[in-house]
Chain A
Amino acid sequence: MKYAALWLLALALPVQAGSKIIATGGATSIEGAAGGGIVPWAVINGYASSEQWSVLAFNNNVGVDDFSLHSYGVAASYNNQWELSYTRQQFDLDTLGGELQQDVIGLKYHIAGELLYSQMPQLSAGIQYKKHRNFALPFAVGAKDDSDIDYYLAASKVYFAAVAGRNLLLNATLRASRANQIGLLGFGSQTDHSYQWLFESSAALLLTPQLAVGVEFRQKPNQLAFADEQHWRDIFAAWFINKNFSLVGGYVDLGRIAGFSEQQGYYLALEATW
């Protein structure tokens, strides 16, 4: 809880936030991009509308049977168009012992469409530069590189009064990646070093303008011979307390990780935005 002071500050100071409608900056995913929990969306983080700036700090925790992942970082956006993020991921091998760290620098550009206002979905393109900080273990299990870039294209749209009078957000993301377990087990393998196209998707229902429940799916590659990698999924509830503070809780199913099957557990994310 070394960030407790930061969160208290965020709660205590109802600083003038940007003009975007509450919840339309999404939450911050584990790789630092605005989105759900595990999928980057086409939305730009924070509340910066035209010619406005926004900055945020986030702290996400995933705890499954034999592993935990702590992702934290800072991000900024401008003009509801550009999004830049820096994330440190710490992956604890609770059962095996040890920890792995990775840094992720993300950049996202809002190409076209407006989440709320256009018939066409909002479209954004992004890159995630990932650099592993403890590559000995990923190398030992067959990974080829300690750093790489993911590329993605995301489409998001809010459909008003779509389900039981509530607004529905649908998102689809196509990612090109060589990452094993999002990069925590390095990139590529000795035998296969080509990019794969991966499909990711989220649906979130806004029960109120500040409270959403949703589901996510993230297709995963399976390149390392030593252990199977499976698709990820989660269900979540997100509470946008105000424009300065949001809280996401969820249940994740990460499938098989490094030989440990049925990795399921909690997801908890806090975010402070200015």
Chain B
Amino acid sequence: MTIKLTPLLTGLVLCLSLAACSQKPQAPDQLYQALGAQAGLEQLVDGLLQEIEQDKQIVHHFQDTDIPRFRRLLIEQLCELSGGPCTYTGATMQESHTGFQISQADFDNLVAHLMKVMQQQKIDIKAQNQLLALLAPMYQEVVYR
């Protein structure tokens, strides 16, 4: 039995090596800049807050939230994550989400809102995906805690 896997494997290896190459960081704050630095992140978080406000499925999780503080901390966190000149001063993701009974559907909705806002603000698609890559692993610290 001959299995012609060679073209496929070549393709996969090529993909994976390209993947490795493309993740090589340029400047430490390259993503922060691509997201529009401080002003861009503020706009992003404001857009996100508007989406959350309209979303009946998840808005109830924020009923006791101090929104100005939440906004400030989220901007700070995204700034630090993306390599900007900030230090996140809030609680860990697990601490701040425990007890909220956040479901996978809630998390999916928030991700969808973030994607929508990033598209609306015409953030470069590479930067969009790089930010998603940084946020996706938080799933396990946020959902069903």
Contact = CB atoms under 8 A, between A and B. Distances in A.
Question: Does A associate with B in a complex?
Answer: yes
Interface of B: 1, 3-5, 8, 11-12, 15, 18-19, 22-23, 57, 103-109, 111-112, 115, 119, 124-127, 129-130, 132-133, 136-137, 139-140
Contacts of B22: 161-165
Interface centre among A116, A163, A165, A222 (most CB of B within 10 A): A165
A168 B19 contact: yes
Contacts of A80: 104
A165 B136 contact: no
Main secondary structure of the interface of A (DSSP, over half): loop
Nearest to B133: A160
Interface in A178-204: 199, 201, 203
Contact of B140 (A51, A117, A160): A117
A208 interface: yes
Nearest to B34: A165
A21 interface: yes
B136 A117 contact: yes
**Interface bin, chain A:** 35 or more
Contacts of A21: 108, 111-112, 115
Interface of B is mostly: helix
Contacts of A222: 1
5 contacts: A21-B111, A21-B112, A162-B18, A170-B12, A215-B11
A70 interface: no
Contacts of A199: 3, 5
A52 B57 CA distance: 12
Contacts of A251: none
A23 to B, nearest CB: 11
A170 B112 CA distance: 21
